[in-house]
Amino acid sequence: MARTSVTLILGVALLATAGCAKKRPETLPPAPGEPAQTAPGGMTDGQVGTGAVPGSAEDFRRSVQSDTVNFALDSYDIDGPARAILDGQAQWLARYPNVRVTIEGHCDERGTREYNLALGDRRANSAKNYLVARGIDAGRINTISYGKERPQAMGSDEGAWAQNRRAVTVVIG
């Protein structure tokens, strides 16, 4: 009798787990290193023409002119080239209203740590205010200043300094 009960319990457990088994998807994702299968029209399933998932950080970087605006020495003014870059970012952000970004403010190595943190903050907020003026909800945009702590270019010359005076828009979700 006990043997029958154990067999019956095992049989029920086996049926229960069999009902929970995952079904194999109709199409499997490509193995590492293999190209994705393309749908008619040359686009992969669930992706834009650039090969990035719409609304992702990769899509942002591929879709906009740049994720970075540069500034003049001791400045946080948005000039013509910066306006063009931020206009493209605003258009992309308008297409994806649930995406949040962080704008990072950076400086070159000259000046004190405190001065550069304050200037980086003004640069990040200048870019944020421009995007808000273009219709992007301010609640979607965080800012942070790294001052001179995260240089993009190493070196102590005008070329490196110019690259490090920047605000970078980073998609966070």
**Taking 50 as the threshold, does the pLDDT of residue 39 lie above it?**
no
Q: Is residue 103 part of a domain?
A: yes
Residue 40 lies in a domain: no
| Within-domain flag for 11 | no
Strand, coil or helix: what is 36? coil
Q: Tell me what the mean pLDDT of segment 128-134 comes to.
A: 98
pLDDT at res. 17: 59
Answer whether residue 148 is part of any domain: yes
Q: What is the rounded average pLDDT of the residues 101-112? A: 97
Q: How many domains does the chain have?
A: 1
Q: Which residue has the higher pLDDT, 80 or 22?
A: 80
Sheet order of strands, 101-106 included:
68-70, 166-171, 101-106, 141-147
In a domain, 39, yes or no: no
Domain presence at residue 147: yes
Does 51 reside within a domain? no
Return the bridge partners of 56, or none: none
CATH label of the domain that carries residue 78: 3.30.1330.60
Is residue 12 domain-resident?
no
Amino acid at 61: R
Specify the pTM. Answer: 0.71
> What is the reported pLDDT for 19?
57
Separation between Cα atoms, residue 123 and residue 116, nearest integer Å: 10
**Measured distance CA(59)–CA(32) in Å, rounded:** 20
Residue 111 domain boundaries: 57-171
Residue scoring higher pLDDT (60 or 48): 60
User: Averaged over 92-119, what is the pLDDT?
Assistant: 97
